[in-house]
Chains A and B, each alone.
Chain A
Amino acid sequence: MSAFQHRHASHCESGVMAALVTHAGLPLSEPMAFGLASTLSFAYIPLIKVGGLPLVAYRALPHAITKGLRKPLGLTMQVETFRKADQGVARLDELVAEKQLVALQTSGFWLPYFPEDLRFHFNVHNLIVFGRDGDDYLISDPVFEDTVRCPKADLTKARFAKGLMAPKGRIYFTRSTVQEPCWGKILPAAIRKTCRTMLAPVPFAGAKGIRSLARAVAKLDNSGDGAHARHFLGHMVRMQEEIGTGGGGFRFIYAAFLQEAAELLNLPPLATKADEMIAIGDEWREIALAAALMIRGRKLLEPKLIAAMLSTQADREESFFRALRALV
Protein backbone atom coordinates (compact mmCIF):
# COMPACT_ATOMS: atom_id res chain seq x y z
CA MET A 1 0.00 0.00 0.00
CA SER A 2 1.28 3.44 -0.85
CA ALA A 3 1.38 6.22 1.72
CA PHE A 4 -1.95 7.83 2.46
CA GLN A 5 -2.62 11.21 0.85
CA HIS A 6 -4.80 13.76 2.62
CA ARG A 7 -7.13 15.76 0.37
CA HIS A 8 -9.17 18.81 1.30
CA ALA A 9 -12.83 18.18 0.55
CA SER A 10 -16.05 20.09 0.68
CA HIS A 11 -18.11 17.50 2.49
CA CYS A 12 -16.97 14.97 5.07
CA GLU A 13 -18.60 11.77 3.86
CA SER A 14 -17.82 12.16 0.16
CA GLY A 15 -14.29 13.26 1.09
CA VAL A 16 -13.75 10.22 3.29
CA MET A 17 -15.10 7.77 0.71
CA ALA A 18 -13.12 9.34 -2.15
CA ALA A 19 -9.96 9.00 -0.04
CA LEU A 20 -10.70 5.38 0.96
CA VAL A 21 -11.42 4.30 -2.63
CA THR A 22 -8.41 6.19 -3.99
CA HIS A 23 -6.23 4.47 -1.39
CA ALA A 24 -7.75 1.13 -2.44
CA GLY A 25 -6.44 1.59 -5.97
CA LEU A 26 -9.00 3.59 -7.96
CA PRO A 27 -8.32 7.33 -8.12
CA LEU A 28 -11.71 8.85 -7.30
CA SER A 29 -12.56 12.52 -6.95
CA GLU A 30 -14.92 13.80 -4.28
CA PRO A 31 -17.61 14.78 -6.85
CA MET A 32 -17.35 11.32 -8.42
CA ALA A 33 -17.92 9.66 -5.02
CA PHE A 34 -20.82 12.03 -4.43
CA GLY A 35 -22.47 11.59 -7.82
CA LEU A 36 -21.88 7.86 -8.16
CA ALA A 37 -23.64 7.26 -4.85
CA SER A 38 -26.57 9.40 -6.07
CA THR A 39 -26.24 11.62 -3.03
CA LEU A 40 -27.79 14.80 -4.40
CA SER A 41 -31.24 15.19 -2.97
CA PHE A 42 -33.60 17.41 -1.11
CA ALA A 43 -35.70 16.56 1.92
CA TYR A 44 -38.03 18.55 4.10
CA ILE A 45 -39.41 16.44 6.94
CA PRO A 46 -41.44 18.36 9.54
CA LEU A 47 -41.85 15.22 11.66
CA ILE A 48 -38.12 14.92 12.37
CA LYS A 49 -36.87 17.82 14.46
CA VAL A 50 -33.31 19.08 14.55
CA GLY A 51 -32.86 21.43 17.48
CA GLY A 52 -36.63 21.85 17.61
CA LEU A 53 -37.03 22.74 13.90
CA PRO A 54 -38.00 20.53 10.93
CA LEU A 55 -35.29 18.56 9.17
CA VAL A 56 -34.14 20.24 5.96
CA ALA A 57 -31.51 18.34 3.96
CA TYR A 58 -29.89 19.14 0.65
CA ARG A 59 -28.46 15.66 0.14
CA ALA A 60 -29.29 12.04 0.95
CA LEU A 61 -29.20 10.69 4.50
CA PRO A 62 -25.86 10.12 6.24
CA HIS A 63 -24.17 6.82 5.24
CA ALA A 64 -25.75 7.07 1.78
CA ILE A 65 -22.33 7.51 0.12
CA THR A 66 -20.73 4.68 2.08
CA LYS A 67 -23.60 2.40 1.09
CA GLY A 68 -24.16 3.80 -2.39
CA LEU A 69 -20.61 3.16 -3.66
CA ARG A 70 -20.59 -0.53 -2.82
CA LYS A 71 -22.60 -1.76 -5.77
CA PRO A 72 -21.23 0.37 -8.64
CA LEU A 73 -17.59 -0.11 -7.59
CA GLY A 74 -17.94 -3.67 -6.31
CA LEU A 75 -16.57 -2.37 -3.06
CA THR A 76 -16.63 -4.49 0.09
CA MET A 77 -16.89 -2.33 3.16
CA GLN A 78 -16.61 -3.62 6.66
CA VAL A 79 -18.76 -1.69 9.09
CA GLU A 80 -18.64 -2.21 12.85
CA THR A 81 -20.36 -0.55 15.78
CA PHE A 82 -19.73 -1.15 19.45
CA ARG A 83 -21.88 -1.31 22.53
CA LYS A 84 -19.00 -0.42 24.85
CA ALA A 85 -16.48 2.34 24.35
CA ASP A 86 -13.47 0.25 25.47
CA GLN A 87 -14.26 -2.40 22.83
CA GLY A 88 -14.41 0.32 20.20
CA VAL A 89 -11.08 1.78 21.30
CA ALA A 90 -9.38 -1.63 21.34
CA ARG A 91 -10.67 -2.49 17.86
CA LEU A 92 -9.55 0.84 16.40
CA ASP A 93 -6.09 0.46 17.94
CA GLU A 94 -5.82 -3.06 16.55
CA LEU A 95 -6.67 -1.89 13.02
CA VAL A 96 -4.37 1.13 13.22
CA ALA A 97 -1.55 -1.17 14.36
CA GLU A 98 -2.17 -3.23 11.20
CA LYS A 99 -1.74 0.01 9.22
CA GLN A 100 -5.34 -0.22 8.08
CA LEU A 101 -6.97 3.04 7.02
CA VAL A 102 -10.12 3.40 9.17
CA ALA A 103 -13.00 5.81 8.73
CA LEU A 104 -15.01 6.84 11.79
CA GLN A 105 -18.33 8.43 12.53
CA THR A 106 -18.02 11.06 15.25
CA SER A 107 -19.73 14.03 16.85
CA GLY A 108 -18.03 17.29 15.90
CA PHE A 109 -18.80 18.78 19.32
CA TRP A 110 -16.10 16.76 21.08
CA LEU A 111 -13.29 17.19 18.55
CA PRO A 112 -10.80 19.65 20.05
CA TYR A 113 -9.30 20.63 16.70
CA PHE A 114 -12.66 22.11 15.62
CA PRO A 115 -12.86 25.88 16.20
CA GLU A 116 -14.90 26.40 19.38
CA ASP A 117 -17.68 28.32 17.64
CA LEU A 118 -18.24 25.59 15.08
CA ARG A 119 -18.76 22.82 17.62
CA PHE A 120 -22.33 21.64 17.62
CA HIS A 121 -23.84 18.33 18.62
CA PHE A 122 -23.87 16.93 15.12
CA ASN A 123 -23.37 13.20 15.24
CA VAL A 124 -22.48 12.30 11.69
CA HIS A 125 -19.13 13.86 11.11
CA ASN A 126 -16.83 11.49 9.20
CA LEU A 127 -13.05 11.37 9.33
CA ILE A 128 -10.18 8.97 8.69
CA VAL A 129 -7.62 7.71 11.20
CA PHE A 130 -4.38 6.91 9.40
CA GLY A 131 -2.00 6.39 12.28
CA ARG A 132 -1.16 6.85 15.92
CA ASP A 133 1.55 8.70 17.75
CA GLY A 134 1.53 7.81 21.44
CA ASP A 135 -1.83 8.87 22.81
CA ASP A 136 -2.71 10.96 19.75
CA TYR A 137 -4.47 9.67 16.68
CA LEU A 138 -3.33 11.03 13.34
CA ILE A 139 -6.43 12.15 11.53
CA SER A 140 -7.30 13.10 8.00
CA ASP A 141 -10.44 15.18 8.42
CA PRO A 142 -11.49 15.96 4.84
CA VAL A 143 -13.04 19.31 5.67
CA PHE A 144 -9.71 20.57 7.06
CA GLU A 145 -6.91 21.73 4.80
CA ASP A 146 -4.23 19.72 6.60
CA THR A 147 -4.10 16.58 8.68
CA VAL A 148 -4.80 17.00 12.40
CA ARG A 149 -4.18 15.19 15.68
CA CYS A 150 -6.68 14.22 18.33
CA PRO A 151 -6.03 12.80 21.81
CA LYS A 152 -7.51 9.39 22.46
CA ALA A 153 -9.88 10.51 25.25
CA ASP A 154 -11.46 13.22 23.08
CA LEU A 155 -11.81 11.02 20.03
CA THR A 156 -13.42 8.30 22.13
CA LYS A 157 -15.93 10.79 23.48
CA ALA A 158 -16.70 11.96 19.93
CA ARG A 159 -17.16 8.36 18.77
CA PHE A 160 -19.54 7.47 21.57
CA ALA A 161 -21.63 10.64 21.72
CA LYS A 162 -25.35 10.06 22.22
CA GLY A 163 -28.43 11.58 20.62
CA LEU A 164 -29.95 11.67 17.14
CA MET A 165 -28.01 9.33 14.81
CA ALA A 166 -25.59 8.41 17.60
CA PRO A 167 -22.36 7.02 16.10
CA LYS A 168 -22.01 4.07 18.54
CA GLY A 169 -18.31 3.99 17.78
CA ARG A 170 -19.03 3.21 14.13
CA ILE A 171 -15.92 2.40 12.09
CA TYR A 172 -15.77 1.42 8.43
CA PHE A 173 -12.97 0.38 6.15
CA THR A 174 -12.17 -1.72 3.11
CA ARG A 175 -9.50 -4.33 2.58
CA SER A 176 -10.34 -4.87 -1.07
CA THR A 177 -8.62 -3.43 -4.12
CA VAL A 178 -10.92 -1.46 -6.39
CA GLN A 179 -10.72 -2.03 -10.16
CA GLU A 180 -11.72 0.41 -12.88
CA PRO A 181 -15.50 -0.02 -13.23
CA CYS A 182 -17.56 0.02 -16.41
CA TRP A 183 -18.39 3.73 -16.45
CA GLY A 184 -20.84 3.32 -19.35
CA LYS A 185 -23.03 1.22 -17.13
CA ILE A 186 -22.71 2.70 -13.67
CA LEU A 187 -22.79 6.43 -14.48
CA PRO A 188 -26.15 6.47 -16.30
CA ALA A 189 -27.61 4.28 -13.54
CA ALA A 190 -26.39 6.69 -10.85
CA ILE A 191 -27.74 9.73 -12.71
CA ARG A 192 -31.10 8.05 -13.27
CA LYS A 193 -31.33 7.28 -9.57
CA THR A 194 -30.73 10.93 -8.65
CA CYS A 195 -33.43 11.97 -11.14
CA ARG A 196 -35.84 9.49 -9.55
CA THR A 197 -35.17 10.94 -6.08
CA MET A 198 -35.52 14.53 -7.22
CA LEU A 199 -38.75 13.78 -9.10
CA ALA A 200 -40.20 11.50 -6.42
CA PRO A 201 -43.98 11.79 -6.17
CA VAL A 202 -43.93 12.47 -2.41
CA PRO A 203 -44.35 15.84 -0.70
CA PHE A 204 -41.23 15.67 1.48
CA ALA A 205 -38.54 14.85 -1.10
CA GLY A 206 -37.00 16.29 -4.24
CA ALA A 207 -38.59 19.20 -6.08
CA LYS A 208 -41.86 18.61 -4.26
CA GLY A 209 -39.97 18.80 -0.97
CA ILE A 210 -38.65 22.23 -1.96
CA ARG A 211 -42.23 23.28 -2.67
CA SER A 212 -43.36 22.03 0.76
CA LEU A 213 -40.57 24.03 2.38
CA ALA A 214 -41.66 27.09 0.37
CA ARG A 215 -45.21 26.69 1.71
CA ALA A 216 -43.92 26.38 5.30
CA VAL A 217 -41.76 29.50 4.87
CA ALA A 218 -44.70 31.45 3.38
CA LYS A 219 -46.69 30.72 6.54
CA LEU A 220 -44.01 32.09 8.90
CA ASP A 221 -45.30 34.92 11.07
CA ASN A 222 -43.30 38.11 10.57
CA SER A 223 -45.45 40.21 12.90
CA GLY A 224 -43.93 41.40 16.18
CA ASP A 225 -40.18 40.82 16.41
CA GLY A 226 -40.42 37.84 14.03
CA ALA A 227 -38.09 35.83 16.25
CA HIS A 228 -39.45 32.48 15.16
CA ALA A 229 -39.37 33.40 11.46
CA ARG A 230 -35.73 34.49 11.77
CA HIS A 231 -34.87 31.32 13.67
CA PHE A 232 -36.55 29.15 11.01
CA LEU A 233 -34.83 30.94 8.11
CA GLY A 234 -31.49 30.72 9.89
CA HIS A 235 -32.01 27.01 10.42
CA MET A 236 -32.84 26.51 6.73
CA VAL A 237 -29.61 28.26 5.70
CA ARG A 238 -27.54 26.50 8.37
CA MET A 239 -28.62 23.13 7.05
CA GLN A 240 -27.38 24.34 3.69
CA GLU A 241 -24.10 25.68 5.08
CA GLU A 242 -22.75 23.61 7.93
CA ILE A 243 -24.23 20.33 6.96
CA GLY A 244 -24.29 21.43 3.37
CA THR A 245 -21.23 23.06 2.03
CA GLY A 246 -21.49 26.73 1.34
CA GLY A 247 -24.59 28.00 -0.39
CA GLY A 248 -25.94 25.24 -2.54
CA GLY A 249 -22.53 23.58 -2.39
CA PHE A 250 -23.92 20.17 -3.15
CA ARG A 251 -25.28 21.54 -6.42
CA PHE A 252 -21.76 22.68 -7.37
CA ILE A 253 -20.30 19.29 -6.44
CA TYR A 254 -22.92 17.67 -8.64
CA ALA A 255 -21.98 20.00 -11.50
CA ALA A 256 -18.37 18.82 -11.16
CA PHE A 257 -19.62 15.24 -11.24
CA LEU A 258 -21.65 15.88 -14.42
CA GLN A 259 -18.53 17.32 -16.10
CA GLU A 260 -16.52 14.23 -15.22
CA ALA A 261 -19.35 12.00 -16.39
CA ALA A 262 -19.60 13.92 -19.69
CA GLU A 263 -15.97 13.10 -20.40
CA LEU A 264 -16.06 9.49 -19.30
CA LEU A 265 -19.22 8.82 -21.31
CA ASN A 266 -18.22 11.11 -24.16
CA LEU A 267 -21.60 12.79 -23.84
CA PRO A 268 -21.16 16.59 -24.25
CA PRO A 269 -24.82 17.44 -23.41
CA LEU A 270 -24.03 16.45 -19.81
CA ALA A 271 -21.43 19.23 -19.66
CA THR A 272 -24.15 21.69 -20.72
CA LYS A 273 -26.31 20.36 -17.90
CA ALA A 274 -23.37 20.96 -15.55
CA ASP A 275 -23.48 24.67 -16.38
CA GLU A 276 -27.22 24.72 -15.67
CA MET A 277 -26.56 23.01 -12.35
CA ILE A 278 -24.06 25.76 -11.48
CA ALA A 279 -26.75 28.35 -12.19
CA ILE A 280 -29.11 26.47 -9.87
CA GLY A 281 -26.42 26.41 -7.16
CA ASP A 282 -25.95 30.16 -7.59
CA GLU A 283 -29.66 30.61 -7.01
CA TRP A 284 -29.38 28.69 -3.72
CA ARG A 285 -26.64 31.13 -2.74
CA GLU A 286 -28.97 34.03 -3.50
CA ILE A 287 -31.66 32.51 -1.28
CA ALA A 288 -29.17 32.03 1.56
CA LEU A 289 -27.93 35.61 1.17
CA ALA A 290 -31.42 37.11 1.15
CA ALA A 291 -32.37 35.07 4.24
CA ALA A 292 -29.18 36.07 6.08
CA LEU A 293 -29.80 39.78 5.42
CA MET A 294 -33.34 39.43 6.75
CA ILE A 295 -32.06 37.65 9.85
CA ARG A 296 -29.65 40.49 10.55
CA GLY A 297 -32.31 43.11 9.86
CA ARG A 298 -30.39 44.60 6.96
CA LYS A 299 -33.38 43.78 4.82
CA LEU A 300 -37.08 43.82 5.70
CA LEU A 301 -38.19 40.45 7.10
CA GLU A 302 -40.41 39.05 4.37
CA PRO A 303 -40.70 35.26 4.51
CA LYS A 304 -43.03 35.37 1.49
CA LEU A 305 -40.18 36.67 -0.64
CA ILE A 306 -37.97 33.72 0.34
CA ALA A 307 -40.93 31.39 -0.22
CA ALA A 308 -41.33 32.72 -3.76
CA MET A 309 -37.62 32.19 -4.46
CA LEU A 310 -37.85 28.63 -3.13
CA SER A 311 -40.86 27.92 -5.24
CA THR A 312 -39.09 29.12 -8.41
CA GLN A 313 -36.14 26.96 -7.37
CA ALA A 314 -38.45 23.95 -7.12
CA ASP A 315 -39.61 24.55 -10.71
CA ARG A 316 -36.05 24.91 -11.97
CA GLU A 317 -34.84 21.75 -10.29
CA GLU A 318 -37.87 19.85 -11.52
CA SER A 319 -37.35 20.79 -15.17
CA PHE A 320 -33.58 20.26 -14.82
CA PHE A 321 -33.98 16.67 -13.68
CA ARG A 322 -36.70 15.90 -16.24
CA ALA A 323 -34.30 16.99 -18.98
CA LEU A 324 -31.38 15.13 -17.41
CA ARG A 325 -33.48 11.99 -17.19
CA ALA A 326 -34.07 12.16 -20.94
CA LEU A 327 -30.32 12.33 -21.63
CA VAL A 328 -29.20 9.06 -20.03
Chain B
Amino acid sequence: MDDSQVPQEGNALFKGQRKAVYARGLDGKVRPVPSAGWQVEEIVTRQALEVLAAQAETARQRALRGEASPLEYHMYRSRMDLPLLAQSTGIWQWRVRRHFRPEIFSKLSNAILSRYSEAMGVPMEKIQSAEP
Protein backbone atom coordinates (compact mmCIF):
# COMPACT_ATOMS: atom_id res chain seq x y z
CA MET B 1 0.00 0.00 0.00
CA ASP B 2 1.35 3.41 -0.97
CA ASP B 3 0.80 6.65 0.96
CA SER B 4 -1.77 7.78 -1.59
CA GLN B 5 -3.80 4.57 -1.13
CA VAL B 6 -4.21 4.92 2.63
CA PRO B 7 -7.98 4.90 3.13
CA GLN B 8 -9.31 8.32 4.12
CA GLU B 9 -12.99 7.79 3.34
CA GLY B 10 -13.72 7.93 7.04
CA ASN B 11 -15.19 5.31 9.32
CA ALA B 12 -18.20 6.81 11.12
CA LEU B 13 -17.61 4.42 14.01
CA PHE B 14 -14.21 6.00 14.74
CA LYS B 15 -15.94 9.20 15.90
CA GLY B 16 -13.20 11.31 14.37
CA GLN B 17 -10.35 9.18 15.68
CA ARG B 18 -7.65 8.19 13.22
CA LYS B 19 -5.63 5.01 13.25
CA ALA B 20 -2.05 4.56 12.18
CA VAL B 21 -1.44 2.31 9.20
CA TYR B 22 1.87 1.56 7.54
CA ALA B 23 2.29 2.61 3.91
CA ARG B 24 5.07 3.23 1.43
CA GLY B 25 6.04 6.83 0.79
CA LEU B 26 7.45 8.32 -2.42
CA ASP B 27 10.98 7.57 -1.20
CA GLY B 28 10.06 3.88 -1.01
CA LYS B 29 10.19 3.81 2.81
CA VAL B 30 7.31 2.30 4.78
CA ARG B 31 6.12 4.49 7.65
CA PRO B 32 3.00 5.08 9.75
CA VAL B 33 0.33 7.29 8.15
CA PRO B 34 -2.87 8.36 9.98
CA SER B 35 -5.98 6.91 8.35
CA ALA B 36 -9.49 8.28 8.81
CA GLY B 37 -10.86 4.80 8.22
CA TRP B 38 -11.70 2.23 5.59
CA GLN B 39 -15.19 1.30 4.41
CA VAL B 40 -14.29 -2.40 4.68
CA GLU B 41 -13.59 -2.03 8.36
CA GLU B 42 -16.79 -0.09 8.90
CA ILE B 43 -18.81 -2.77 7.09
CA VAL B 44 -17.50 -5.67 9.15
CA THR B 45 -17.69 -3.78 12.46
CA ARG B 46 -21.26 -2.71 11.75
CA GLN B 47 -22.09 -6.28 10.86
CA ALA B 48 -20.88 -7.44 14.28
CA LEU B 49 -22.82 -4.64 16.00
CA GLU B 50 -25.96 -5.53 14.04
CA VAL B 51 -25.73 -9.18 15.06
CA LEU B 52 -25.45 -8.12 18.71
CA ALA B 53 -28.27 -5.58 18.39
CA ALA B 54 -30.55 -8.17 16.74
CA GLN B 55 -29.86 -10.65 19.55
CA ALA B 56 -30.64 -7.96 22.12
CA GLU B 57 -33.87 -6.98 20.36
CA THR B 58 -35.09 -10.60 20.15
CA ALA B 59 -34.33 -11.01 23.84
CA ARG B 60 -36.15 -7.77 24.64
CA GLN B 61 -39.26 -8.93 22.78
CA ARG B 62 -39.15 -12.24 24.64
CA ALA B 63 -38.87 -10.37 27.93
CA LEU B 64 -41.82 -8.12 27.07
CA ARG B 65 -43.93 -11.20 26.27
CA GLY B 66 -42.88 -12.69 29.59
CA GLU B 67 -41.05 -15.61 27.94
CA ALA B 68 -37.64 -14.63 29.26
CA SER B 69 -36.21 -12.54 32.06
CA PRO B 70 -34.62 -9.13 31.34
CA LEU B 71 -31.26 -10.70 32.16
CA GLU B 72 -30.88 -12.19 28.68
CA TYR B 73 -31.58 -8.80 27.11
CA HIS B 74 -29.03 -7.04 29.32
CA MET B 75 -26.45 -9.72 28.55
CA TYR B 76 -26.67 -9.14 24.78
CA ARG B 77 -26.90 -5.42 25.25
CA SER B 78 -23.59 -5.53 27.15
CA ARG B 79 -22.16 -7.31 24.08
CA MET B 80 -21.71 -10.49 26.07
CA ASP B 81 -22.69 -14.09 25.50
CA LEU B 82 -23.53 -16.87 27.94
CA PRO B 83 -19.97 -18.16 28.51
CA LEU B 84 -18.64 -14.65 29.11
CA LEU B 85 -21.45 -13.67 31.49
CA ALA B 86 -20.93 -16.90 33.42
CA GLN B 87 -17.18 -16.28 33.68
CA SER B 88 -17.62 -12.64 34.64
CA THR B 89 -20.05 -13.39 37.45
CA GLY B 90 -18.61 -16.72 38.58
CA ILE B 91 -22.11 -18.20 38.18
CA TRP B 92 -22.30 -21.48 36.31
CA GLN B 93 -23.77 -21.38 32.82
CA TRP B 94 -26.67 -23.69 33.69
CA ARG B 95 -27.57 -21.38 36.56
CA VAL B 96 -27.37 -18.28 34.37
CA ARG B 97 -29.62 -20.05 31.84
CA ARG B 98 -32.04 -20.81 34.67
CA HIS B 99 -32.04 -17.12 35.56
CA PHE B 100 -33.25 -16.39 32.03
CA ARG B 101 -36.61 -17.77 33.22
CA PRO B 102 -38.77 -14.86 34.45
CA GLU B 103 -40.31 -16.73 37.39
CA ILE B 104 -36.87 -17.63 38.73
CA PHE B 105 -35.27 -14.28 37.96
CA SER B 106 -37.97 -12.39 39.88
CA LYS B 107 -37.06 -14.28 43.06
CA LEU B 108 -33.30 -13.65 42.87
CA SER B 109 -31.63 -12.16 45.93
CA ASN B 110 -30.02 -8.74 45.76
CA ALA B 111 -26.64 -10.38 46.23
CA ILE B 112 -26.96 -12.35 42.98
CA LEU B 113 -28.49 -9.39 41.15
CA SER B 114 -25.62 -7.16 42.17
CA ARG B 115 -23.15 -9.67 40.73
CA TYR B 116 -24.94 -9.43 37.40
CA SER B 117 -25.18 -5.67 37.70
CA GLU B 118 -21.45 -5.38 38.37
CA ALA B 119 -20.41 -7.76 35.57
CA MET B 120 -22.56 -6.14 32.89
CA GLY B 121 -22.21 -2.57 34.08
CA VAL B 122 -26.02 -2.24 34.33
CA PRO B 123 -27.28 -0.30 37.38
CA MET B 124 -29.35 -2.30 39.89
CA GLU B 125 -32.49 -0.24 39.33
CA LYS B 126 -32.42 -1.01 35.60
CA ILE B 127 -31.70 -4.71 35.74
CA GLN B 128 -35.31 -5.67 36.55
CA SER B 129 -36.71 -4.28 33.32
CA ALA B 130 -35.86 -4.88 29.69
CA GLU B 131 -35.53 -1.21 28.87
CA PRO B 132 -32.39 0.38 27.46
Contact = CB atoms under 8 A, between A and B. Distances in A.
Interface of A: 8-10, 30-31, 51-52, 109-110, 115-121, 143-145, 157, 161-164, 166, 230-231, 234-235, 237-238, 241-242, 245-247, 249, 252-253, 255-256, 259, 274-275, 278, 281-282, 285, 288-289, 291-292, 295-296
B44 A121 contact: no
Contacts of A166: 87
A10 B40 contact: no
Interface string B97-118: 0000000000000000000000
Given A118-B14, A255-B30, A247 B40 contact: yes
Max chain B Cβ within 10 angstroms of own Cβ: one of A110, A157, A237: A237
A145 B34 contact: yes
B15 to A, nearest CB: 4
Interface residues of B, number: 40
A314 to B, nearest CB: 21
Contacts of B48: 51, 120, 234-235, 238
A109 B85 CA distance: 14
A163 B86 CA distance: 9
Nearest to B31: A256
Interface string B26-69: 00111110110011110111011101000000000000000000
Interface of B: 1, 7, 13-15, 17-24, 28-32, 34-35, 38-41, 43-45, 47-49, 51, 79-81, 83-84, 87-88, 119, 121
B22 A252 contact: yes
Interface of B is mostly: mixed
10 contacts: A8-B34, A110-B121, A143-B19, A145-B18, A163-B83, A234-B43, A245-B20, A246-B35, A252-B21, A255-B24
Contact of A121 (B15, B21, B51, B84): B84
Contact of A245 (B13, B19, B49): B19
Nearest to A49: B83
Nearest to B29: A259
Contacts of A235: 48
Nearest to B35: A246
A56 B50 CA distance: 21
